[in-house]
Structure 1
Amino acid sequence: MRKRKNNRKIKNKKRGYYQVLAIGFILFLILIIGLSIITKDKDYSETENRVLQQKPNFTIDRLLEGRFTPKFEDYVVDQFIGRDFFTNVKINVDKLIGKKESNGVFLGKDGYLIENFTEPNKEAVNESLQSIKNFSEKYKDVKQYMLISPTAVSVYKDKLPAMAPVVDQEVYIQGYKKHLPTSIKFVDNFEALNKDKDKGVFYKTDHHWTSLGAYNSYKILAKEMGLKPKADDYYNVELVSNDFYGALSSKSGYDVKEGDKVNVYIPAKDKENVVVNYVEEQQKTASLYSSEPLEKKDNYEVFLKGNHPLVKIKTDASNNKSLLIFKDSYANSFIPFLTKDFSKIIVVDPRYYYEDIDKLMEEEMIENVLYLYNANTFFNDTSLAPVLNNE
């Protein structure tokens, strides 16, 4: 009898314990959700050194077409209250157990932090491919080019930890190339990056290519476009920062002993006359570079002040050629090499652009289009197709 009573007491205590846990968990969720609702959304994460997803506009069409849900999920994850705290906890736990991978970033040889390449979002890839095909057919008289750059995980395979579980990025790049219409010329820059990789074509602490990587890739694009690439001695290479700790050092949490060097390429003899119009911000400047970011964490924003929905650049090139670039942030350090080749360069970042693209094509009398992305961004992008389709 006593044994039964004791067992009953134990069961009641366990039941009470689990009930308290359940109630505590529910109250915790209510608190978190409540704080998330009343807390103002953040635009930028200092810890991850990147722009955060903002609340997407809801429409029935976007929901039914599957374009609303992925962005809303990204929004919830990015704006989750205490995100930086929980991210730091995970990073520190990974460091304690000696992992060579943290938050999708490998701790490589020679101080390289290398972002992993995940298997592409097939739905997003197919949707963007079809939209690109349709856009190409709509503008048959416009010359179109595509440069999907490999990232450090492909070029610096020898720097990866032993047995690192990576997907072959080049397989997907070359596979995508085969599905493009012949009206779009694909620019393969792998060898251009690989030949100078010992000189540093990617930053060690950031996911972007360096100015050297961008310059080498520009020379390949120029040849494909029928342009005359600038000789190496055309530019003076100027050091603007030697302590750049990029997004991968923030994202991974790995201790980095030495920051990256950031260089800009300035024409040695020709004076560069440009007018850069940041349309949404209603700001104009006479330079492709900004010194302000050099005093902040993200030194890469020295190039075109980072990412913007729409930038219009007028140059002193007298050929009346126009170029529209659909891009991610890789283009920011690439565009300065194009200013002597085109009189007008229109830059659209589909992640933030919501205007009528056909109207822009007509108003700016676009003759050339360039898709310029890195593979990690491109193969998981869901923003390009709606822009091309004017949705």
Structure 2
Amino acid sequence: MNTNKKEKFILKNNAVHKRFWQIGIRTFFVFLFVIAFLGLLLPLRPKESELEKRELSKFPKPTVSTVLNGEFFSDISTWYADTFPFRETLMSANAKMKKLYGITTQEIYGDAAQGDEIPDADAEMETTPTPEVTPEEEEDLPEEDGTIHAEPEKLGKIYIADNRGFELYGFSRAGADAYINMMNSAAAQLKDIATVYDILVPTSIAVNVDEENQQKVGSNSQEDTFAYVNGHLDASINQVGVLDTLKKHNSEYLYFKTDHHWTADGAYYAYRELMKAKGMTASALTDYTRTEYPGFIGSFYQYSNQSDTLKNNPDTVVAYTPTCNDLTYTDTDGNQKTGHVVSDATQYSEGNKYLCFICGDQPYERIDNPNITDGSSCVVIKESYGNAFVPFLVNSYQTVHVVDYRYFSGNLIDLVKENGIQDVIYVNNANALIESAAKNMTRIIS
């Protein structure tokens, strides 16, 4: 090839490359334009995330201060990204792409702080009891605005094995001590007024995974945790142990595979232990109407980067409806509403079927059973683990009050006194033994 032909070939080749490069750039910008256009289509923008179980960001309202300091434009950026059309589909696709890098039979997702060393049951507590506020001191305190600063439930490390998920447990010495102080304070204030019961519920890893493998994956002992807490509770508090009972029945469907909650069957064993502590006979499961809601995929799926293992092994929510299925509740906006102890979850989305129990997490609920007229009453102080537990109490009490300490703005002690409540029942899973939860439980008795 002579020099002229070679130069012509190079020029032609460069022209072809340039043309393809220009086509590629144009295609890329068209793609970006289409994506941006889709992103601006308000009707396609989701308002809630089923995957993350939360309300997505709302378009910000401009104010003079937020416009001037740039916060308004930053919030627009957050809203745009948080509510992008097909957001969850894209998240799931991204997670599946990452899984192509390798195949594993056991997986661990998430970050969790290393748990504290669990002291012996009789070890001295490090924190001092919460001081009582005298009337003189109370006058100097600022008025509360009634705003509830409650944190949503968050999960730590997720361990996946045998086609199911487990949450690793990390012990918090400060959290356990704060819980002990709160319980002892409540018992002191309710002395000669009501009987206090404490039900500490283990999570699935403590019931379904042996101690050796719990240690291998870095999960602290919940048995030792409960022993430490129980060893420091006031003698007037009735401790209702459920860990051993659940372990004896761990071949049964006591915990969900894709979610951090226990099932209604697991909660029923706790109800039986409570009735035993009261010297009463528990209502048999046959006294309730059993209903199944299949296709439940819970929180572990979200926190495990949408694990295919969990997606392909969905749960079934089994619910037991008591003889009375009506309740009234106050929502987070202070509105009075009516609902059901067990709702029909047939049409609920796959991530929300656990909400069939007592209308989900409401600040305050009340259930009056007209079939019981002995004047018996109780109040359950709980987080979401208590939701599956409450329906069983309806067959044993004339009136059941329910308080979710994360959202309740009233005073528990006043509630007990004003309604003549006889039994005060705390139901908390092991992960509630943290400072933020204890702080909220302390807030409603202060």
The bucket for the TM-score relative to the shorter chain is 0.7 to 0.9
Alignment-derived partner of residue 263 in structure 2:
210
Residue 301 of structure 2 is aligned to residue 249 of structure 1: yes
Calculate the TM-score normalised by the size of structure 2: 0.64
In 2, distance between residues paired with 1:313 and 1:383?
27
Q: C-alpha deviations, 1:138-162, integer Å up to 9, x for none? A: 1112101000110101011159699
Aligned residue for 1:223?
A: 276
* Same amino acid, percent of matched pairs: 24
Query: Structure 1 174/231 Cα, relative in aligned 2: closer, same or farther at 3 Å?
Result: same
Residues 92 and 353 (structure 1), Cα distance of their counterparts in 2 relative to 1, 3 Å cut: farther
Look up the match of 2:291. Answer: 238
1:48 aligns with 2:52: yes
Which one of 341, 344, 353 corresponds to residue 299 of structure 1?
A: 353
SS at match of 2:246: helix
Residue 92 and residue 225 in structure 1: after superposition, are their counterparts in 2 closer, same or farther (change >3 A)?
Answer: farther
For 1:312-331, list aligned pairs within 5 A: 312-316=366-370, 317-331=372-386
Choose from 91, 101, 107 the match for 2:108.
Answer: 101
The 1:227/1:92 distance shift into structure 2, 3 A limit, reads farther
| Match in the other structure for 1:31 | none
Residues 148-196 of structure 1 show CA distances to partners (whole Å, capped at 9, x for unaligned) of 1101010111596993221112110111111100110111111221222
Q: Which protein shows a greater Rg? A: 2
CA distance in 2, matches of 1:224, 1:294: 38
Q: Taking structure 1 as reference, are residues 293 and 370 closer, same or farther at Cα in structure 2, changes over 3 Å only?
A: farther
The residue that corresponds to 2:200 in the other structure is: 148
Query: Does the C-alpha gap of structure 1 residues 132 and 183 become closer, same or farther in structure 2, counting only changes over 3 Å?
Result: same
Q: Which runs of 5+ in 1 are unaligned?
A: 1-41, 53-78
Q: What residue number does 2:324 align with?
A: 273
Question: Which among 109, 114, 117 is matched to residue 169 of structure 2?
Answer: 117
For residues 365-390 of structure 1, the C-alpha deviation after alignment (integer angstroms, 9 at most, x for no partner) is: 12110100111123452443433443
Alignment of 1:325-344 (within 5 A): 325-344=380-399
Secondary structure at the aligned position of 2:181 is classed as helix
Post-superposition Cα deviations, 1:80-134, rounded to whole Å, max 9, x if no partner, equal 996899997789758846571012111111x1111111222x3333223212212
CA shift, 1:364, in A, is 1.4
Unaligned runs of 5+ in 2: 1-45, 57-77, 111-156
CA contact (8 A) 1:48 1:248 kept: no
CA distance in 1, matches of 2:344, 2:285: 24
Counterpart code for 1:362: K
Deviation string 1:280-339 (CA, Å, 9 cap, x unpaired) is 331113x31122574222100011121011111111221111111110111111111111
**AA of the residue aligned to 1:348:** V
Structure 2 counterpart SS, 1:230: coil
Determine the structure 1 residue equivalent to 2:42. Answer: none
The answer to whether 1:168 aligns with 2:175 is no
State the match for 1:69 in structure 2: none
Distance 1:162 1:368, change over 3 A: closer
CA separation of 1:351/1:373 partners in 2, compared to 1, >3 Å: closer, same or farther? Answer: same
> Deviation string for 1:41-60 (max 9, x for gaps)?
x99753333689xxxxxxxx
- Structure 1 contact 278–311 (Cα < 8 Å) conserved: yes
Equivalent residue, structure 1, for 2:74: none
Q: RMSD between aligned alpha carbons?
A: 3.1
Match of 1:26 in 2: none
Aligned-pair distance for 1:198? 1.4
**What amino acid sits opposite 1:386 in the alignment?**
T
Kept in 2: contact 1:288–1:303 (CA 8 A): yes
Q: Which amino acid aligns with 1:100?
A: E
Task: Supply the distance in 1 between the matched residues of 2:47 and 2:183 (Cα, whole angstroms).
Answer: 29
**One-letter code aligned to 1:47:** L
CA contact (8 A) 1:189 1:220 kept: yes
